Structure 1
């Protein structure tokens, strides 16, 4: 494999499965089919660069498909419904953990503090903006937005811990009702 962009999803899955700390170069090599030399050719900064680029790719996906529509849609209700559908799709209906959350909870948290914080802050802000455009006051919009991100992240953790993806599906359905009320 010689396409750098094609490596990022593979790296992301290794980090999701093993965390940053547990993602050894042996596991990364096995997942990508590349030896250490080839990996360092693509990522001279090593595992830190790999994780940083994977986080940037995830951030770009969420910015384009979730955050920007929430900030700018003329129909905030439709943007919120689309956010929930996009989140459900991205996290494969609760079968996939949030890599940004995995990084935030691990020992590498401080190393990636800025992109992790920025990701969650922009999500919170974008959803609050959509809720405000939908007629909710600023304070309540911020509370509901924070509750929404908390619900999504908590449901992912609980669905994974209980090995029951239906937890995530139920949480999203209940969240939709709360956000659109």
Structure 2
């Protein structure tokens, strides 16, 4: 099977155990591949596996978030669609954010630049929608940064409290809060 077949499994393992805890033994057991087969598909080892997962998430972001935000239509509607997609990928706040996990421990030095780029693209896309809705550039950028911060923070708090309603509540009100004072 192509290595893309194993990406969802790897994503779930990384979400569950983190970079350091997702050992090759756990990966082998979850994928059903022996260690030799893992290295056949991912010669760079675990770092290449994580890179493949990040590429998958980057592609998902492009297809589900960026294309939604860049599509024609009313800004508030596009922001609502973005929140629907974010809600879907995090299973209503039940799944932790992989990028936050990869910014901890030994993975930070390896994956920081990639994670940073993903966040920046997302922030810029939100800011562009807000600018289009009539908001000045500086305020749009601050609100976009606050939005991504709130999303990531609500995921952490939801995980910590074992209560995804924190995330769900944020996602329900985020589009309107972003646009306050900009739409007719």
TM normalised by structure 1 equals 0.95
The separation in 2 between residues aligned to 1:174 and 1:61, in whole angstroms, is 23
Cα distance in structure 2, aligned partners of 1:45 and 1:3:
16
Gap regions ≥5 residues in structure 2: none
- Residue 90 of structure 1 aligns with which residue? 89
CA contact (8 A) 2:76 2:175 kept: no
What are the equivalent positions in structure 2 for 1:155-174 lying under 5 Å apart?
A: 155-174=154-173
CA–CA distance in structure 2, aligned partners of residues 37 and 84 of structure 1: 40
Q: Structure 1's 38 and 101: CA in aligned 2 closer, same or farther, altered over 3 A?
A: same
Q: What is the distance in 2 between the residues matched to 1:47 and 1:30?
A: 14
Q: Secondary structure at the match of 2:96?
A: coil
- Alpha carbons 1:93, 1:165 under 8 Å: kept: yes
Distance 2:48 2:140 in 1: 36
SS in 2 for 1:105: coil
Task: Quote how far apart the aligned CAs of 1:77 are.
Answer: 1.9
Aligned to 1:133: 132
Q: Could you tell me how far 1:172 is from its partner in structure 2?
A: 1.3
Residue 72 of structure 1 deviates from its aligned partner by 4.2
The residue aligned with 1:71 is 70
Moved over 6 A (4+): none
Residue 15 of structure 1: aligned partner: 14
2:45 paired residue number:
46
Q: Deviation string for 1:2-35 (max 9, x for gaps)?
A: 2321100101111111111111001101110111
The alpha-carbon deviation at position 164 of structure 1 amounts to: 0.3
Task: Tell me how far 1:64 sits from its aligned partner.
Answer: 1.3
Give structure 1 stretches of 5+ with no counterpart: none
Q: Which segment is superposed worse, 93-102 or 70-79?
A: 70-79
Structure 1 distance, partners of 2:146, 2:72, is 21
Query: Aligned partners of 1:98 and 1:25: how far apart in 2?
Result: 21
